[in-house]
Amino acid sequence: MSDEQAALQTELVARYDRLRRERVDSREDNALAITTDGRKLALDARLLSGTAIDHPGSKINALAGNVAEIWGMEKGTSLISTV
C-alpha cells in the first residue's frame, strides 16, 4: 500500500465513523458507497482519486504486467473479465 492509499483509507474510515455518529442522508454517503470506494482503492488509488500518482506495486500494474507477459508468450488476443 502506498502512502497515498493509506491516506485515502484513513478518509474512508472517517466517512464510516461519521455514518455511525451522525444521521447522514443516504444520498450523500452510505456504507455501500464507502465499501465500493474501498474496493477501488484496493486495486489502485487512481480509481478513487484523479490526482493519485501511479504506484508501481499496485494490483492494476501487476495485472497489466501479467497480461503483457502472457501476450508475449502467446502473441494472441487477451480477454480480461471482471467477473
Q: Tell me what pLDDT residue 59 has.
A: 87
Q: How many residues does the chain have?
A: 83
Q: Tell me what pLDDT residue 79 has.
A: 73
pLDDT-based confidence at 82, cuts 50/70/90? low
Q: Is 41 helix (H, G, I), strand (E, B) or coil?
A: helix
- pTM of the full structure: 0.74
